[in-house]
Amino acid sequence: MGPGRHGDGAGLYLVVDPSGARRWIVRVTVKGQKNRKGAPLRTDFGLGGADIVTLNQARERALEYRRMAKTGLNPRFNAQREIPTFEEISRQVHIDRMPTWKNAKHGQQWMNTLRDYAFPKIGRMPIDSIGQPEVLMCLSPIWTDKHETAKRLAQRIKTVLDVAKSKGFRSGENPVTAVRDARVLPSVKAKPQHHDAMPWRDVPAFYAELDGRSAMAAKALQFTILTAARTSEVLDMTWPEIDVEARLWTVPAARMKGGKAHRVPLTDEMLAILEPLKAMASTYVFEGQKRHQPLSNMSMLMLLRRMGRKDVTVHGFRSSFRDWAAEEAGASRELAEAVLAHQVGSDVERAYARSDLLERRRQLMVRWCTFVVSIDKNS
């Protein structure tokens, strides 16, 4: 059903927005009341979103509105509506936004935060009864100890309440905004989180040890070290992203943290890892235990632990590369950050810096790979 107003009869309409959102409205004429021009007062009333209010419910409410209007009562001031709960609206918002999630995991995290910290306290409350005290009831217990989680929770509660308002179930200021503006919650100084990194001078020896392992997690970790890529970028890599002839790996925008496609130059060492894996004919380059499924995102970290390296993380190898690039290779900040797919500079600077420095990055990655594999594992 395309955008527009679609009649069901007796003044009931289904309105479909260009965005695809659907809602019910009923048009009634209030007996004995006039508009500003002196004509009969004909008014449209929202009955709720079609994702929440069924056709039969909409018909029942439309009938109620028409009966009130026929007796001279304005439904705006006399109607009683069934108000959905906070959890009901939250789950519908989650479903509506599924196509926009960067990946399924992100969408599930969005819902899990509400499930763990909001639903137990306000999940069953009518959406129109949630104010600042209820918001604080969710945020206060974790505001200091789990500050990042609390900030995400606040944003997600705000989104749910905003959607409820757009559907006509709430009015007035969003209480999350009010809590923020009033600075009711204490200031929490964010502690920078650093991923434990291996000193860059130690990387070749570790890589030589890693090269003696045949597990898929070892191959994935080797490739991650050589490319200085993020864990998810490597594990979710598929064969169509690889252009052997152009010696290029293109990570789609949808899989990049910055939401922008990233080209990674492939060196001889990287291609040597990829070539034998083609024989598996898997959807994913680094296949996990299940056919056509990627390795677990914990696989490389667990490999490090089995190798007795509890002092470093997978993500930390990006820092190892960054330090090497600055201290040993003398690479510019702009070039090193481009390898890591970091956005640097102001919006204006980035607008003018249209090049991704591919060829310069290719030269730098050749030097990095040569350094990493410089120790013979058999020596």
Residue 290 maps to which CATH number?
1.10.443.10
Q: What is the DSSP letter of 251?
A: E
- Report yes or no on 104 lying in a domain: yes
Same domain, 229 and 367: yes
Same domain, 36 and 103: no
Beta bridge partners of 262: 251
What does each C-alpha distance from 288 to 284, 292, 293, 305, 338 come to in angstroms?
9, 8, 6, 18, 30
User: What does the alpha-carbon distance between residue 369 and residue 255 come to, in Å, rounded to a whole number?
Assistant: 24
Same domain, 53 and 175: no
Same domain, 287 and 363: yes
Last-in-domain residue among 45, 78, 111: 78
Q: What total number of domains does the chain contain?
A: 3
Q: Got the DSSP string for 167-224? A: TTS--S--HHHHHHHTT-SPP-PPPPP------GGGHHHHHHHHTT--SHHHHHHHHH
Same domain, 140 and 285: no
Same domain, 367 and 224: yes
- Output the pLDDT for position 191: 57
- Report yes or no on 146 lying in a domain: yes
Encoded tokens for 35: 């508009």
- Report yes or no on 195 lying in a domain: no
Last-in-domain residue among 78, 94, 121: 78
- Ranges of the chain with pLDDT below 70: 73-82, 102-104, 190-195, 344-355, 376-379
- Output the pLDDT for position 81: 57
- Output the pLDDT for position 351: 46
- Output the pLDDT for position 215: 92
What does each C-alpha distance from 346 to 258, 343, 357 come to in angstroms?
15, 9, 18
Same domain, 146 and 241: no
Nearest to 249 by CA among 257, 237, 258: 237
Same domain, 228 and 95: no
Same domain, 256 and 279: yes
> Residue 99 is part of a domain; what is its CATH number?
1.10.150.130
Same domain, 169 and 213: no
- Report yes or no on 189 lying in a domain: no
- Output the pLDDT for position 216: 95
Buried b (16+ CB within 10 A) or exposed e, 145-181: eeeeebebbbebbbbbbebbbebbbbeeebbbeebee
Encoded tokens for 20: 């695809």
Q: At 27, which amino acid appears?
A: R
- Report yes or no on 192 lying in a domain: no
Q: At 244, which amino acid appears?
A: V
Domain span holding position 336: 200-372
User: What does the alpha-carbon distance between residue 28 and residue 229 come to, in Å, rounded to a whole number?
Assistant: 61
Last-in-domain residue among 16, 50, 78: 78
- Report yes or no on 378 lying in a domain: no
- Report yes or no on 191 lying in a domain: no
Q: Return all residues near 30 (Cβ < 8 A) that are at least 6 apart.
A: 40, 41, 43, 69, 72, 73, 74, 75
> Residue 37 is part of a domain; what is its CATH number?
3.30.160.390
Encoded tokens for 38: 């002196």
Same domain, 98 and 169: yes
- Report yes or no on 186 lying in a domain: no
Same domain, 243 and 315: yes
39, burial (CB in 10 Å: exposed 0-12, middle 13-18, buried 19+): exposed
Nearest to 259 by CA among 100, 99, 102, 105: 102
Residues belonging to the chain: 379
